[in-house]
């Protein structure tokens, strides 16, 4: 049985630097700064790539990454991955210029308490690309409805 959330439960964390992503390797983006965490344990510095569901329920998850300039013509992807294995959403694009390669993704995901979500990057460049340019990469988790 699902119940409405009576108090906002959620967290938003941003990157503080860059994450090196090798070609054709899904790589979680490291998050360093917590903008807010209403429960206090959704984002932990000990697990810098993860936002962990504190309760079982339906969450809205949003991620953003800014790829570096000079990635024109490179095929890039971001994805929302649960528990390190299951992708619930993937967004792809081929960069058509060399500036401001922003990618955003969001969707509702049902999580049980203790499951975690990561924002991952992937590309088809010939060399590693640094992703997660400071606060321009972020991951947000917001509880929509809780199960009892």
How far apart are alpha carbons 46 and 112 in whole angstroms?
A: 21
Phi-psi bin for 46: left (phi > 0), alpha (psi -120 to 50), beta? alpha
Instruction: Give me the half-sphere count of Cα atoms (radius 13 Å) on the Cβ side of residue 144.
Output: 11
Q: Would the pTM count as exceeding 0.85?
A: yes
pLDDT at 113 over 90: yes
Residue with the larger pLDDT of the pair 21 and 131: 21
Q: Are the CB atoms for 140 and 42 separated by under 8 Å?
A: no
What integer pLDDT is reported at residue 139 of this predicted model?
Answer: 93
């Amino acid at each position: 049985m699902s119940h409405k959330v009576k108090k906002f439960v959620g967290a938003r964390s941003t990157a503080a630097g860059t994450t090196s992503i090798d070609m054709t390797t899904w790589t979680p983006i490291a998050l360093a700064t917590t903008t807010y965490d209403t429960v206090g344990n959704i984002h932990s510095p000990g697990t810098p790539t993860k936002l962990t569901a504190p309760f079982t329920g339906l969450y809205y998850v949003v991620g953003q990454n800014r790829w570096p300039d000079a990635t024109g013509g490179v095929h890039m992807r971001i994805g929302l991955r649960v528990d390190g294995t299951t992708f619930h959403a993937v967004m792809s694009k081929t960069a058509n210029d060399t500036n401001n390669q922003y990618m955003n993704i969001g969707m509702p995901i049902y999580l049980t308490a203790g499951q975690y979500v990561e924002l991952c990057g992937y590309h088809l460049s010939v060399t590693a690309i640094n992703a997660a340019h400071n606060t321009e990469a972020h991951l947000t988790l917001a509880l929509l409805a809780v199960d009892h």
